[in-house]
Amino acid sequence: MKLTKLLLAGVGAIGLALPVAAQDLGLSRINVTVPFGEGGGSDTLVRAIAPFLQPALTGEPTILIRNEPGGGGIPSTNRFVKNAARDGSDLISLSSSIFVASALSNPQIHFKLDGFIPVFVAPLGGVTYISPSTGATEPGDVAGIGDTTVIYGGGRQDSSDALTVMQFDLLGINVQSIWGVERGGSRIGFERGEFTVDQQTSLAFNSSVQPLVDAGTAIPFMTSGLRTADGEVLRDPIYPDLPTFLEVYEKVHGAPLSGPAYRAYTALSVAALTAGKTIALPKDTPQTVVDAYTAAFDTVIANPEFKDATKASLGGYPLLTGDAAQAAFANGGEMDDEAFAWLQDWYRTKLNFDLKR
């Protein structure tokens, strides 16, 4: 057993030592399904990758990007799982909204997350910030907020926006959530003083919230952290001075978050952030094809030009391929019955929203 591992490692090392060879799939055309419209996050990612992926595959196959918007990406993803070819000619670009819908057991979803083999994952990070009017004075200052009710504006209850409400609620802070806020509306509402907490991706935070922080009208409060392959949550590498939610929780309650609440929170945050933007093959794709794509994506992310081109759209977080990508996927979405029951109850009591399973 050990010997095999050693041998495999040796083979791997030789493979690494050889000049990077383009990966041969014997395909002249690759279809990438984007279950959203042009210009969305998933679409942008695929279009950024395509020109780098093409030369990393032998024969430089044509990469066709096929947008299938509608229904929050669910109908198109359902179709992909059912119909996609298993020879590597069909890829799909998935986004956190699909993973969250899957974690919340949206009845329209006809697949399980193990229906995909992720070959590339770009995790997302987010910064939660708070208005000084709540009484908070510094990052993680739960005591300063006290009994004040914080107000959060989100898009839809069954989206990743619920995660922010859940975090504040788990910290024991009174949070009023107002729904149906349009894209970007929560940030502008925060500036107008209508909302007192908000969460943004690192990019939007740096460009639009940092000036408020400098002016003293916003305080960065915490991040969701970055999950490693073995499940540990580390501080966000872009904001090493900000505590993670789990750190703040432990400080407030004296013990780490645990039990079904922890498992539900983890599943949801993996879906919303860790698995962020993913490119996947359908299940049952032969291992040789998966390996070929893993190597091809390794070539892509090692390319300094690619890093430059995507710094703005991917936020500069470490990109994952192969086993690391599949590890990031684990824990994502699927919840045990006890954790889901906890989540159902939380949704019902705090958001007045019925999760069906």
Partner 1 sequence: MVDAFVGLFSTTAIFYLLFGACLGLVVGILPALGGAAGLSLLIPFIYGMEPSAAMAMVIGMLATVTTGDTITSVLLGIPGSASSQATILDGFPMAKSGQGARALSAGFLSSVMGGLLGAAVLTLTLQVARQIILLFGVPEILMMILFGVASVAALSGRSLAKGVAICAFGMIVASIGYAPATGEERLTFGMFYFADGLPLIACVIGVFVVPEIVDLVRQNRSVSDRPVMGSGTLQGMRDVLANKWLVVRSAGVGCLVGAMPGVGGAVVDWIVYGQTVRSAKDKSRFGQGDVRGVIGVESSNNAVLGGALVPTLLFGVPGSGSTALLLSALIMLGVQPGPSMLGADINLTYSMIWSLAIANIVGAGLCFLLARHLAKITMIPFVWIAPFLIVAISFATLQVNRDPRDLLLVLVFGAVGVFMRRFGFSRPAFLIGFVLQGNLERSFYQTSQLYDLWGFISRPIVLLLAVVVATVLINSLRKQLSTTVRFDTPEHEASLMATRPLQLLMPVMLAAVFGGALWILKDLQPLGRTFPEIVAGIGLVAALIAAVQILRKVPSSMEDQEQEGTEYPVSMLRVGGWLAAAMALLIAFGFFAGSALFLALFLGIEARARIWQIAAGIIGIVGLYLVLMFYSGTFLPDGWVLSLNPWTYF
Residues in touch with partner 1 (CB under 8 A): 37-40, 43-44, 47-48, 51, 64-72, 74-75, 108, 151, 153, 156-158, 176, 178-185, 187-189, 191-192, 194, 203-204, 206-208, 211, 309, 311-313, 351-353
Which of 9/178 has CB closer to partner 1? Answer: 178
Which of 43/236 has CB closer to partner 1? Answer: 43
Which of 11/178 has CB closer to partner 1? Answer: 178
CB 243 within 8 A of CB 222: yes
Q: Give least dist CB 164 to partner 1, A.
A: 15
Which of 146/211 has CB closer to partner 1? Answer: 211
Which of 10/51 has CB closer to partner 1? Answer: 51
Q: Please state whether beta strands 175-178 and 150-153 pair in parallel, antiparallel, or not at all (unpaired).
A: parallel
CB 219 within 8 A of CB 127: no
Q: Give least dist CB 48 to partner 1, A.
A: 7
Q: Give least dist CB 243 to partner 1, A.
A: 25
Q: Give least dist CB 84 to partner 1, A.
A: 15
Q: In what order do the strands lie in the sheet with 126-130?
A: 175-178, 150-153, 197-201, 126-130, 219-223
- Please state, in angstroms and rounded to a whole number, the distance separating the CA atoms of residues 33 and 95: 12
Q: Give least dist CB 235 to partner 1, A.
A: 23
- Please state, in angstroms and rounded to a whole number, the distance separating the CA atoms of residues 133 and 121: 38
* Nearest Cα residue to 235 out of 312, 317, 178: 317
* Nearest Cα residue to 64 out of 100, 93, 86, 87: 93
Which of 185/237 has CB closer to partner 1? Answer: 185
Beta bridge partners of 151: 176
**Residue 230 has what DSSP assignment?**
T
139-to-10, 57, 183 alpha-carbon distances in Å: 47, 46, 25
Helix or strand run (H / E) with residue 220: strand 219-223
Determine the angle formed by the axes of helices 259-269 and 161-170, rounding to 10 degrees.
150
Q: Give least dist CB 181 to partner 1, A.
A: 7
Which of 99/249 has CB closer to partner 1? Answer: 99
Up-side HSE of residue 239: CA atoms within 13 Å toward CB?
Answer: 25
Neighbouring CB atoms inside 10 A of 157's CB total 19
Please provide the size of the chain in residues.
Answer: 357
Q: Give least dist CB 66 to partner 1, A.
A: 5
* Nearest Cα residue to 344 out of 290, 280, 267: 267
Q: Give least dist CB 231 to partner 1, A.
A: 30
Which of 110/112 has CB closer to partner 1? Answer: 110
